Amino acid sequence: MTEFFLEIGSEEIPAGYLEPALNSMNRELTAFFEKNRIRADEGQTLGTPRRLAIAFQNVEDCQKDIVETHLGPNVKAAYDVGGNPTKAAMGFARGKGVDVSDLTVQTTAKGEVVCARVENKGQTTYDLLNAFLPKLIGSIPFPKKMRWRDKTIAFARPIHWIAALLGEKTLNFELDGIPSGGLSYGHRFLRPSAFQVQNLGSYLKGCEEHFLAVQPEARKQQIAGQVKALARQVDGVVEDDPALLNQVANLVEYPVGVLGDYDPKYLELPKELLVMTMKHHQKYFPVSAPGGKLLPHFIAISNMTTDSGDAIQKGNERVLKARLEDARFFFEEDRKQNLEDFVEELKGVVFQKKLGTSYEKMTRFSALADRLAQQVCPLKQAQVERACRLCKADLVSQMVYEFPELQGIMGGYYASLSGEANEVAQGIKEHYRPAFAGDELPESPVGSVVAIADKLDTILGCIGVGLIPSGSEDPYGLRRHALGIIQIVLAGGWQVSLYELIDAGIHQLGQKIKLSPEEIRQHAVDLFSQRFKSLLTEEGVPYDAIDAVLSTGIDSLADVRQKALALADLKQLPHFEPLAVAFRRVVSILTEDAPGEIKPELLGNPAEAALYAQYLKIKEPVQTLVAEKKFAQALEKIVGIKVAVDDFFDQVMVMVEDDALRKNRLHLLYGISRLFGDIADFSKIVVKGALKK
């Protein structure tokens, strides 16, 4: 057993490239060891912007030997009547690299055949790695690759060195003129000299001496600790932001926190603007008071020590000041107009070339929002109408042109400054939510209604002109919009018809659509079903329960979730599978003749008469419970008919020749199926093989 170590040194790799690249290296090397029958421990990845490294402990020095048995021609074809090998046998032996006298006979389903046992000696891990590593390095996936000078290899950034060792031996390969070796290099500015790598332990020690924090998780914890300590110096706190922490950690090799200040006058600007400027544009951590109010301080993470005085602090403060001055200028310029003044300019902003301008889009979803508001918040219709008209106006403001991430947010501030009602301003600010996975939902009815209408118009419009999500392609975020609509409706507990909203949205698109209304409707329903299935799966609902409920339709999104949860609870009961089998039998036997009025006088068999009596007993209570959206109680009530159903199938032949009798029995089963048919399609429930009939 020995240790394998690899480091690829390069110029600074973009922060977002590091983690996927290291994961790919770990995955591919693990697969390499498994494929080549080499035992090794799990890989340990390390990395900074200037290096990708990985180590495997307890690696075997050599492949395991294997013996392979190859089947050849039939014995009758392999030997003549005198027992001498034929050309077929000799050719087979030659092809497998064995002497014909070493062939043996094996009995198979096709009779006796000759076989060759070939012993493959394992190659050394050293040789296999020398051949594999150049391919591995060249295949590391990056969103964008580049070539430099006369090199043919494409990589994220130019490669400067490769350190590769197996035990005490340096691996011996070359990658486009770059030889592997046993040297690594320190921090570009603080200590750039080379240091010898003998194993992972010596590498970590050398990194520590050369100002390199190469363990990603440790580096993140180091930064988090520095940020917390610096914030305490000004009686402040920094809110958790894992994405920013991860990004900053992948920008530096030797993190040093720097506390900076900015003029308190900038606190007059919207908080979101200040936070966006610091986080997204400068990768700084904003400092707040414990109550959440911003303080005039920020924390930057430098890649240098601060021994040379406060030059790094002053430099970051100058950069931020310039950014904030720009923001203040745009804010003050935009405030010279009312938000309403921007609306007309939306006629010159193209939303999508086939779907027209943002003004046209606003007009379409305003009608949708009005329809929805009538149902869920009729007293807020005027505010919804006003919020719809103004919610896209900030797209033509100078601020959003410079900081597009603030669309909607700035519109809310400008609405307030223009004298609009608070509910209108809040609705504008919230209507893009949820904008990403884990984002907050709109808190106000106005924001929720506008958000749903806007997202649904985008979904239907894009589908209508053929921009349907496929695979990983979803440039307009239709999947995210569908999930957002579902989440908003569920959070509000709104009983609204999704199908009616879809039809109304299609109608608003008029002549812009290329697909038929039926095609658009089906694609939209499929999209919502897929997103709802993902949502319920994350909540732990069994997949067959989800399929069973979704098969009954998703017109009421609120009902779908309640039905799925009720069915999931029912599945936990010990008698559920026999119940599911019984209901599956009911559904599976139904034909086109099944719907119809039951004639009690034709129910001559005691079992069918008993089933009919049980059906009448629970029919009205079940229908009442379903109408009241009490699906769990309805399912509990339906369970009571299970014994009568079993007795019916045991004692009654449904598909008899007598036409009237057959149809009457089908009518009875159809009536029973309708009791649970609006809740779930039990034919989608997966039961154990022993229970299937």
Return d(Cα 641, Cα 456) in angstroms, integer. Answer: 42
Q: How high is the pLDDT of residue 677?
A: 85
Return d(Cα 581, Cα 646) in angstroms, integer. Answer: 10
Residue 104 domain-assigned?
yes
Residue 237 domain-assigned?
yes
The residue type of 237 is: V
In the predicted model, is pLDDT for residue 690 greater than 90? no
Mean pLDDT calculated for residue range 242-247: 95
CA distances from 651 to 600, 609, 646 (A): 18, 12, 9
Q: What is the per-residue pLDDT across 2-41, written as a single tens digit (0 to 9) for each?
A: 999 999 999 999 999 999 999 999 999 999 999 998 999 9
Residue 674 domain-assigned?
yes
- Per DSSP, the chain holds a count of helices (H) and strands (E) of 26, 17
DSSP SS3 for 466 = coil
Return d(Cα 459, Cα 522) in angstroms, integer. Answer: 12
CB proximity list for 505: less than 8 A, separation 6 or greater? 364, 365, 368, 456, 457, 460
Residue 543 domain-assigned?
no
554 against 592, higher pLDDT: 554
CB proximity list for 404: less than 8 A, separation 6 or greater? none
Return d(Cα 485, Cα 427) in angstroms, integer. Answer: 15
Domain closes at, from 519, 538, 557: 538
Q: What is the per-residue pLDDT across 334-361, written as a single tens digit (0 to 9) for each?
A: 999 999 999 999 999 999 999 999 999 9
Mean pLDDT calculated for residue range 319-327: 95
Give the best-scoring range by mean pLDDT among 78-82, 224-228, 553-557, 597-601.
Answer: 224-228
Strand order in the sheet with 285-288: 256-261, 294-302, 285-288
- Tell me the residue range of the domain where 30 lies: 2-62+124-209
What pTM was computed for the model?
0.78
In the predicted model, is pLDDT for residue 119 greater than 60? yes
In the predicted model, is pLDDT for residue 120 greater than 80? no
Exposure string over 535-550, b if 16+ CB within 10 A, otherwise e: bbeeeebbebbbbbbb
323 and 227 in a single domain? The answer is yes
The residue type of 49 is: P
Q: How far is CA 304 from the centre of its chain?
A: 36
Q: What is the per-residue pLDDT across 494-523, written as a single tens digit (0 to 9) for each?
A: 999 999 999 999 999 999 999 999 999 999
Domain CATH code at residue 663 = 1.10.730.10
What do you get for the CA distance between the two ends of the chain, in Å?
Answer: 56
CA distances from 119 to 36, 68, 88, 96, 97 (A): 15, 6, 22, 10, 10
Return d(Cα 593, Cα 409) in angstroms, integer. Answer: 58
506 and 383 in a single domain? The answer is yes
**Residue pair 632/669 in contact by the 8 Å Cβ criterion:** no
Q: How high is the pLDDT of residue 691?
A: 40
CA distances from 668 to 167, 222, 622 (A): 78, 71, 16
Domain closes at, from 105, 120, 135: 120
Residue 556 domain-assigned?
no
Return d(Cα 194, Cα 185) in angstroms, integer. Answer: 4
Q: How high is the pLDDT of residue 307?
A: 64
7-21, 443-457, 645-659: the lowest-pLDDT one: 645-659
Determine if the peptide bond prior to 270 is cis (ω within 30°): no
Q: Give burial (CB, 10 Å; 0-12/13-18/19+) of 316.
A: buried
Q: How far is CA 126 from the centre of its chain?
A: 39
Return d(Cα 460, Cα 520) in angstroms, integer. Answer: 7
State the residue for tokens 């000299």: 193
CA distances from 130 to 126, 165, 611 (A): 6, 10, 76
The residue type of 383 is: Q
List alpha helices for 288-380, DSSP H. Answer: 311-334, 340-343, 358-376
576 against 219, higher pLDDT: 219
51 and 190 in a single domain? The answer is yes
DSSP 226: H
- Long-range contacts, stretch 437-442, CB < 8 angstroms, 24+ apart: 437/480, 441/484, 441/487, 441/488, 441/491, 442/488
429 and 374 in a single domain? The answer is yes
Domain CATH code at residue 453 = 1.10.3210
**Residue pair 394/342 in contact by the 8 Å Cβ criterion:** yes
CA angle 268/273/276 to nearest 5° reads 140
CA angle 290/294/298 to nearest 5° reads 105
Residue 561 domain-assigned?
no
Residue 558 domain-assigned?
no
CA distances from 32 to 56, 131, 489 (A): 12, 12, 48
Q: How high is the pLDDT of residue 310?
A: 85
71 and 133 in a single domain? The answer is no
Q: How high is the pLDDT of residue 25?
A: 97
Return d(Cα 640, Cα 679) in angstroms, integer. Answer: 16
Q: How high is the pLDDT of residue 309?
A: 62
The tally of domains found in the chain comes to 5
Return d(Cα 273, Cα 328) in angstroms, integer. Answer: 10
**Residue pair 328/320 in contact by the 8 Å Cβ criterion:** no
For residue 72, give both structure tokens: 């050849």
- Long-range contacts, stretch 645-651, CB < 8 angstroms, 24+ apart: 645/582, 645/583, 645/585, 645/586, 645/611, 645/672, 646/578, 646/582, 647/607, 647/610, 647/611, 648/607, 648/608, 648/610, 648/611, 649/582, 649/585, 650/607, 651/605, 651/606, 651/607
590 and 494 in a single domain? The answer is no
- What's 553-577 look like in SS3? CCCCHHHHHHHHHHHHHHHCCCCHH
624 and 661 in a single domain? The answer is yes
Return d(Cα 146, Cα 368) in angstroms, integer. Answer: 48
The DSSP result for 254-296, as a single string, is S-EEEEEE--GGGGGS-HHHHHHIIIIIT--EEEE-TTS-EEE
CA-wise closest residue to 365 among 438, 481, 461, 263: 461
Return d(Cα 146, Cα 144) in angstroms, integer. Answer: 7
176 and 275 in a single domain? The answer is no
199 and 186 in a single domain? The answer is yes
In the predicted model, is pLDDT for residue 237 greater than 60? yes
Domain closes at, from 209, 240, 269: 209
Handedness of CA 278, 280, 284, 290 (dihedral sign): positive
For residue 599, give both structure tokens: 């004639």
**Residue pair 300/316 in contact by the 8 Å Cβ criterion:** yes
State the residue for tokens 């914030």: 231
DSSP SS3 for 47 = strand
306-315, 553-562, 650-659: the lowest-pLDDT one: 306-315
Return d(Cα 680, Cα 568) in angstroms, integer. Answer: 11
103 and 247 in a single domain? The answer is no
In the predicted model, is pLDDT for residue 298 greater than 80? yes
Phi, then psi, of 151 in degrees rounded to 5: -75, 145
pLDDT tier for residue 580 given thresholds of 50, 70 and 90: confident
The residue type of 554 is: I
Q: How far is CA 406 from the centre of its chain?
A: 24
What average pLDDT does the structure give for the chain? 92
**Residue count of the chain:** 693
278 and 371 in a single domain? The answer is no
For residue 439, give both structure tokens: 């984002």
635 and 678 in a single domain? The answer is yes
**Residue pair 356/465 in contact by the 8 Å Cβ criterion:** no
Residue 534 domain-assigned?
yes
